[in-house]
């Protein structure tokens, strides 16, 4: 058997990121791991529907923002509440790109990662 398990984003402020993903995408922590010496902390977020998880990694000694290159990758969510979430994300001020022709939009998390929202019928 081979199956997807999780995807990782490195973050500068773990609590801020967990709060963002909870508010924006209703993701909740499902497990955590902290290094015995406190050098890193991992929080895995789940959607309560699938087994796929988003791993947020915080490194104690990291102070500079992460270099995300040219943003040629992203995480995507499919939803049957597209209009509702678009309204929420606009109110949060995190919509960074809308493509009405394609019928999708992107939000940006506190560390600059882009997340695509796709309507269920796409």
pLDDT of 3: 76
DSSP-derived secondary structure letter, 61 = T
Does the structure show a pLDDT above 60 at 122?
no
SS3 105: strand
Paired with 31 in beta bridges are: 44
- Specify the number of domains making up the chain: 1
> What are the tens digits of pLDDT across the range 11-63?
999 999 999 999 999 999 999 999 999 999 999 999 999 999 999 999 999 99
pLDDT of residue 45: 98
Catalytically annotated residues: 116
In a domain, 82, yes or no: yes
Tell me which residue range forms the domain holding 12.
Answer: 6-61+73-119
Beta carbons within 8 Å of 52's beta carbon, 6+ residues apart: 4, 5, 6, 7, 46
Q: What is the pLDDT of residues 65-78, one digit of tens each?
A: 888 877 677 899 99
Which burial class, exposed, middle or buried, applies to 79 when counting CB atoms under 10 A from its CB (0-12, 13-18, 19+)?
A: middle
Q: How confident is the model at residue 2 (pLDDT cuts 50, 70, 90)?
A: low
CATH code of the domain containing 26: 3.10.180.10
């Amino acid at each position: 058997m081979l199956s997807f398990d999780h995807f990782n984003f490195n973050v500068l402020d773990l609590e801020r990121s967990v709060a963002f993903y909870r508010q924006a995408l209703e993701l909740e922590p499902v497990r955590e791991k902290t290094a015995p010496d406190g050098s890193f902390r991992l929080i895995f977020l789940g959607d309560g529907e699938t087994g796929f998880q988003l791993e947020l990694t915080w490194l104690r000694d990291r102070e500079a923002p992460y270099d995300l290159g040219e943003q040629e990758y992203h995480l995507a969510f499919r939803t049957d509440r597209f209009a509702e979430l678009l309204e929420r994300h606009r109110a949060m001020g995190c919509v960074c790109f809308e493509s009405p022709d394609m019928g999708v939009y992107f939000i940006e998390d506190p560390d600059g990662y882009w997340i695509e929202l796709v309507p269920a019928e796409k």
